[in-house]
Amino acid sequence: MHINYENILNYLFTFNTFVFLFNIIIFIFWKKILLYLDTYDLENKNEENKKTSENIEMQNKFLKLLNIIIFVFYFLSLFLNIEIINNLIKILVVIIFLFFINRFLIRLITKIYWEKIEVNWEEIIKKWYKTKVFSIIWTFFIIIIWIYIIIEILWFENWLTNWWFIWWLLAFLWFTAPVWATDMFSSILILHSNRIDMWDVIKFELYWREIIWFIKFINLSEVVIVDLVYNNIIIIRPSELKNMKILNLSIDISLKRNKNIMQIINANIDYKITLEQMKNLFNYTFELIKKENEELFNKYFIENSQDVKIKEFWDYAINYQLIYKIKSPFYIIEANRFLNEYLQKSQIKFWITFDTPILINTNK
C-alpha cells in the first residue's frame, strides 16, 4: 500500500489540524471547563452539591467519549480520503462547540434572572422558573442552529437551496403563528418585565366584581392562577393575562416585594358618632384580637398600623375609612374575615352600628 506523505502533510495544516489541537485542549481541561460553566457555585452547594457532581461526571464521560471518537476519525482521515469521515468530525466538533455556548449562556441567564436566598447566613443565587424558561428557549434555538448546520454538512444541503422548501416553512409558521406566537411572546414579555412574577397576588375587576388571585405558574403556553377566595385553579393564556388591567399587590412602586399591604374598610356611620369614637372602637378591636388570639394577630397584622380617616361627608352619613396593614397579600381574605368577627364584637361594646343610616328622620 502506497502512502502519499505529501497529502498527509498538507492535511495536517488544514482545518482538521485546528480541530485536533482544539480536541486535545478540551480533552485535558474538560473537568475545569465543566465546573466553570456549571451553576453549582451560584446555587445552594449544601443541598445540590451531590447532584451537581454526578451531573458533571456524566457530562465529563459523555464528552470524553466524543473526544475519543474525534481522535479516531481524525487519524482515519489521514490515511483514508473519505468525505463522510470528515463530515462526522465536523458534526462532532459542532456538537461540542454549541454545547459550550449553550452552557455559557445558561450560566449568564442564571445570573440575570436570579433570586437571592440566604442559607447559613450566606447569600446565594437560586435557579428560578424564569431561568428554566429562558434556558429552554435558548436551548431550542441551539437545537435549530445545530440541525441547520447538520443539513449544510450532510446530503440535505440541496433542501436549503430549493426555494419551495423555504416558502413551505414560512407558510407553515405564518398559519400556525396565531396558535403559538401570541402566547409565547406574551409569556416572554411578562417574564422579562419583572412587573408580574410567580406567587404574586393580583387583583382586577371582572363583571363589576373584584377578583383576587395568585399566580402559581407561568410558562410559554399557559398561566396557572389560584382564586384566593374559593381556592380554585384557573388556567388562562399568557396573552389574556398581558391584556388584563391588574393591580399587583405583591410589589410596591419600586418593584420590590411589598411586605406592608394596606387595607381599607369603608364604613358609613351616623353623624352622631365622632372620629374619636371610631378610633377608640378600631383600636379596641386590635387590642382584643391580640389578647384573645395573639398567634393569628402576629401572623396577619402589623402592630400599631391601624388608623381611621374621614373620606367623605354624605347627606345621611360620614364615610369613614378603617385602615390597617397586613404582612402578606396572601392573607387579604383570611385577615379581613378574621377582623370582621372582632369588629362585630366592638360594635356591640361601643353601641356603634355599621348599618347604613336612614336618610329620612322618622323620629317625630
Q: Do both 20 and 143 map to the same domain?
A: yes
Q: Do both 181 and 215 map to the same domain?
A: yes
**How much is the average pLDDT of 108-135?**
64
Task: Note the Cα 30 to chain centre separation in Å.
Answer: 32
Q: Do both 34 and 147 map to the same domain?
A: yes
Output the pLDDT for position 160.
52
Taking all residues of the chain, what is their mean pLDDT, rounded to a whole number?
77
Output the pLDDT for position 337.
92
Output the pLDDT for position 87.
76
Provide the grid cell at 325.
Answer: 396593614
- Concatenate the DSSP letters of all residues of 274-300 into one string: -HHHHHHHHHHHHHHHHHH-HHHHHHH
Q: Do both 222 and 282 map to the same domain?
A: no
**How much is the average pLDDT of 27-42?**
70
Q: Do both 36 and 61 map to the same domain?
A: yes
Rounded distance between C-alpha atoms, residue 86 and residue 198, angstroms: 48
pLDDT at 133 over 80: no
pLDDT, tens digit, for every residue of 259-306?
Answer: 889 999 999 999 999 999 999 999 999 999 999 999 999 999 999 999
pLDDT at 129 over 70: no
Question: Using CA of residue 173, residue 174, residue 178, residue 181, what is the dihedral sign?
Answer: positive
Q: Do both 126 and 209 map to the same domain?
A: no
Stronger pLDDT, 38 or 186, i.e. the higher one:
186
Last-in-domain residue among 195, 225, 258 = 258
**How much is the average pLDDT of 214-233?**
86
CATH number for 340: 3.30.70.100
Stronger pLDDT, 340 or 74, i.e. the higher one:
340
Give Cα separations from 171 to 22, 174, 181, 184, 292 (angstroms).
Answer: 41, 5, 14, 19, 69
Output the pLDDT for position 46.
45
- Residue 363 forms part of a structural domain: no
pLDDT, tens digit, for every residue of 2-15?
Answer: 444 445 445 444 55
- Residue 361 forms part of a structural domain: no
Domain that holds residue 345: 261-350
- Residue 317 forms part of a structural domain: yes
Output the pLDDT for position 300.
94
- Residue 200 forms part of a structural domain: yes
Output the pLDDT for position 128.
63
Stronger pLDDT, 92 or 4, i.e. the higher one:
92
- Residue 362 forms part of a structural domain: no
Q: Do both 20 and 110 map to the same domain?
A: yes
pLDDT, tens digit, for every residue of 159-213?
Answer: 555 556 566 766 776 777 677 778 877 877 787 777 788 888 998 876 667 788 8
Lowest mean pLDDT across 21-25, 42-46, 272-276: 42-46
Rounded distance between C-alpha atoms, residue 144 and residue 177, angstroms: 18
Q: Do both 184 and 325 map to the same domain?
A: no
Last-in-domain residue among 154, 178, 212 = 154
**How much is the average pLDDT of 77-91?**
73
Last-in-domain residue among 228, 258, 288 = 258
- Residue 364 forms part of a structural domain: no
pLDDT above 70 covers a percentage of the chain that reads 73
- Residue 130 forms part of a structural domain: yes
Stronger pLDDT, 245 or 289, i.e. the higher one:
289
Q: Do both 149 and 65 map to the same domain?
A: yes
Output the pLDDT for position 228.
87
Q: Do both 125 and 74 map to the same domain?
A: yes
- Residue 358 forms part of a structural domain: no
pLDDT at 120 over 50: no
Output the pLDDT for position 325.
95
Domain total for the chain?
A: 3
**How much is the average pLDDT of 64-71?**
78
Q: Do both 71 and 87 map to the same domain?
A: yes
pLDDT at 339 over 90: yes
Q: Do both 265 and 176 map to the same domain?
A: no
**How much is the average pLDDT of 59-69?**
76
Strand 209-218 and strand 247-248: the pairing is unpaired
154 phi and psi, to 5 degrees? Answer: -90, -160
